[in-house]
Amino acid sequence: MIAVPSVVIKDGEMMLKEIKKAKLTTGEVEVSLRQNKVGNIKDVDLAIFESNGKLSTILNNEQAAATKKDIQMTLDVLANNGFRIPEEKITEGKTAPLFERSL
């Protein structure tokens, strides 16, 4: 018999029926979360008990690791005295003047 992956956590809530079907306990799921460096079940969007016996977790956006793009955006804001310049205002590596003269 081949084991089928089971969703054991969805939107930060344990799916007790699925945990029972997978012949797991909530304690075993909690141990697997800690092994995946998840401190709070509410941080998990989805956790899947895989057929190989491992738990795969997908964290919600607030808890997911920052991407290179996230970090670059923060650096851009800091470099512009705390103001974020919209991407559409940036052309060919130049930015539109902050203040335009009116005649």
Q: Looking at the structure, do residues 53 and 77 belong to the same domain, yes or no?
A: no
Tally the domains of the chain. 2
Check whether residue 12 and residue 46 sit in a common domain: yes
Burial tier of 69 (Cβ tally within 10 Å: 0-12, 13-18, 19+): exposed
User: pLDDT tens digits for 7-46?
Assistant: 999 999 999 999 999 889 999 999 999 999 898 999 999 9
What CATH number does the domain containing 22 carry? 3.30.240.20
Residue 1 lies in a domain: no
Domain that holds residue 44: 6-59
Biggest CA-to-CA distance, the chain:
80
Same structural domain, 40 and 10: yes
pLDDT one-digit tens code per residue, 55-91 = 999 988 777 677 788 777 777 777 766 666 666 555 5
14 belongs to a structural domain: yes
Q: What pLDDT band is residue 1 in, cutting at 50, 70 and 90?
A: very low
